[in-house]
Amino acid sequence: MPQLDLKTQGLRLINSTLQNATPDTESRDWTVSNPMGQHAIACGLDKELNVTVDGNVGFYCAGMNQKADVTIKGHAGVGVAENMMSGTVRVTGNASQAAGATAHGGLLVIEGDASSRCGISMKGVDIVVGGSVGHMSGFMAQMGHMVICGDAGEALGDSIYEAILYVAGTVESLGADCIEKPMTPEHEETLKALLTRAGIDKDVSSFRRYGSARKLYNFNVDHAGEY
């Protein structure tokens, strides 16, 4: 397994090496050591690589990921997996604000807690959080699923579109146009599959489902105070 040392090689060289790696002729498995909390590590990957970052990372780690499987063995700063298209990003610790922001696809797993605005404007990504999330998570979430195995802060799903949120714990409050919806057998199967993909053992019967009431899709003066 090729070893990349950020402390001695620098961020630019490491990202360039990963972006230009050819898994058909080189190893698919890479390790980045000594990340030292730096920003934008392993960004812009578009090949089927397995990248392990051995330590805590700063902002926007694994941003714009496509096809690669990135594991962060530690905590992640703001915007981990921002604008991800496909592949998998896993954080074994906690994640800061805006995890998975604007992500279009793939799977983001945060084994610990996520801070505020987790999944903001998500556009098709699946996010599984083993712990709790902060306020305004799922804000303007358009498509995809967010699974929260712990609690959710205030204004969950504010201005949500067609994303689906599953929460096992308590919800401090729901945002504008977000309501609780029935859990059908179909939703339970979807949830079970997401938890299995994430490697998290959790009873699906403990979850509740939330989504859009669809009252804010078109302007209505009676709802002006909610816009």
Query: How do residues 123-142 score in pLDDT, each as one tens digit?
Result: 999 999 999 999 999 999 99
pLDDT at 7 over 90: yes
Sheet of strand 164-167: strand arrangement: 3-5, 29-33, 50-54, 69-72, 88-91, 107-110, 123-129, 143-148, 164-167, 208-212, 178-181
pLDDT of residue 1: 78
What is the band of 219 on the pLDDT scale with cuts at 50, 70, 90?
low
- Which of 13-27, 193-207, 209-223 has maximum average pLDDT? 193-207
pLDDT of residue 153: 98
Q: pLDDT tens digits for 15-57? A: 999 999 988 777 899 999 999 999 999 999 999 999 999 999 9
pLDDT at 223 over 70: no
Helices and strands counted in the chain (H then E)? 3, 11
pLDDT (mean) for 113-120: 98
Q: Which residues pair with 42 in a beta bridge?
A: none
pLDDT at 227 over 60: no
Prediction pTM value: 0.95
pLDDT of residue 24: 79
pLDDT (mean) for 3-26: 93
CA distances from 144 to 127, 199, 200 (A): 8, 18, 18
pLDDT (mean) for 184-192: 98
pLDDT of residue 25: 76
pLDDT of residue 27: 86
Question: Residue 49 and residue 62: Cα distance in Å, rounded?
Answer: 12
pLDDT (mean) for 69-91: 98
pLDDT at 177 over 70: yes
pLDDT of residue 26: 75
Mean pLDDT, the chain, integer: 95
